[in-house]
Amino acid sequence: MNYYKINTGIFPDVIKICFSNEQFQQILKDHDIKEKATALEIGVAETHYLRNHYTGIIIGAFNLEEMGDEVSSVSGTIAHEASHIIDRMAEIIGEDHIVNEVRAYFTQFLVENIWKCIITEREKNVREQNRKLSKQAGKEKRRAKSKVDQHSDGSAGPDSVSKPKDIPSRTEISYWSNIAQTENNDSRIRVPRVPHSDNRLF
């Protein structure tokens, strides 16, 4: 099962993003975490901090169906979980809190990159749904052909459906903006572009 890794470049490389319990269980398996845990039994999103024998893993789990496609709602959910992820990262690095400009940039970084994960996952789901529909249509077409007399040489051309590339497993999103040093602590932020003007994702 595909899941996503967000590497900040300055904090430990332990942040994973998933969109189903199957992906969640794959993360646990890949990181040798024996603790029994389940993702997304209730609620729209959640953040897990689990440990194996040598490190901790932070997993942000999001239920795409429950989140819907309203940009304001999805953005709010992402920001909420980003805050929890930052708090868990503070635990891992042994700090009481990640604060001020570092927290502001870290929050922006997480929101932008979780958005990328969500968009990629939605596109993957659409491709998988299209493949299923194409296969179903192909089967129905073959059944219809078998019921009709052929007045040609009797050969039927192959039904070929091109397969789009699947997302590579455990896609890594890696990026970190330099933390700006400002004399008056004036934060200059880049606002992520909001898809579509009607305030819906797709």
State the burial class of residue 188 (Cβ atoms within 10 Å of its Cβ: 0-12, 13-18, 19+): exposed
% of the chain beyond a pLDDT of 90: 54
Confidence grade of residue 144 (pLDDT, cut at 50, 70, 90): low
Q: Are 39 and 19 in contact (CB under 8 A)?
A: no
Q: Which residues contact 178 (CB under 8 A, 6 or more apart)?
A: none
Work out the pLDDT band at 168, boundaries 50, 70, 90.
very low
**pLDDT number for residue 52:** 81
Instruction: For the chain, give every domain's residue range.
Output: 4-124+166-174
Element (H, E) at 17: strand 15-18
Per-residue model confidence (pLDDT) at position 122: 94
- Confidence category of residue 143, pLDDT binned at 50, 70, 90: low
Report the alpha-carbon distance of residue 125 to residue 123 in Å, rounded: 5
**What's the average model confidence in pLDDT over 170-190?**
41
pLDDT at 192: 40
Measured CA to CA, the distance from residue 181 to residue 8 in angstroms comes to 19
For the cut 60, the answer to whether the pLDDT of residue 170 exceeds it is: no
Dihedral sign (CA 12, 191, 74, 83): positive
Does the predicted TM-score (pTM) go above 0.75? no
pLDDT higher than 70, residue 90 = yes
C-alpha 97/C-alpha 89 separation (Å) is: 9
